[in-house]
């Protein structure tokens, strides 16, 4: 995806996302681009600096990624150490806790996408558990 800063003939600034650089030209030629503020079809690209990450930015990004991976690992570790694992009974157990039929406690386990949608539709809060960290032997 390519993001372009755009402007209309009324000087309204906005942005557009395109699958390829030629898509802007194609859509502009066919009159498909309009300003979201005034509906003008006289839309052109603005001058933009390319978003190129330098070595410092890449280093910072790697640091942020490492920090996030560590935080996700700590969340997973906390859940595994303090919550009850209920396996594939997760949806049924969450419903039972929500209805007050079972003691309120933290649980984790497996649920299908359909079960998760049904739980959230019924007002039962669920969240995915971060994946386990890859083993050092699995990382290249």
pLDDT digits (tens, 9 = 90+) for 48-103: 766 665 666 666 777 888 888 888 889 999 999 999 999 999 999 999 999 999 99
Query: Measuring CA to CA, which residue among 92, 132, 131, 124 is closest to residue 111?
Result: 92
User: In the chain, what's the furthest Cα-to-Cα distance?
Assistant: 64
- The 10 Å Cβ neighbour count of residue 20 is 10
Q: Is 4 within 8 Å of 18 (Cβ atoms)?
A: yes
Quick one: pLDDT at residue 56? 65
Give me the chain's average pLDDT, please. 87
Quick one: pLDDT at residue 47? 81
């Amino acid at each position: 995806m390519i993001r372009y800063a755009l402007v209309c003939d009324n000087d309204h600034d906005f942005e557009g996302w395109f699958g390829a650089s030629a898509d802007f030209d194609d859509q502009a030629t066919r009159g498909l681009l309009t300003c979201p503020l005034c509906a003008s079809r006289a839309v052109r690209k603005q001058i933009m600096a390319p978003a190129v990450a330098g070595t410092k930015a890449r280093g910072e990004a790697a640091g942020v990624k490492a920090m996030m991976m560590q935080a996700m690992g700590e969340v997973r570790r906390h859940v595994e150490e303090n919550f009850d694992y209920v396996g594939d009974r997760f949806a049924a157990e969450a419903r039972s806790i929500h209805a007050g039929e079972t003691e309120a406690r933290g649980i984790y386990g497996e649920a299908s996408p359909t079960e998760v949608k049904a739980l959230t539709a019924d007002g039962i809060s669920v969240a995915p558990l971060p994946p386990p960290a890859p083993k050092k032997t699995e990382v290249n």
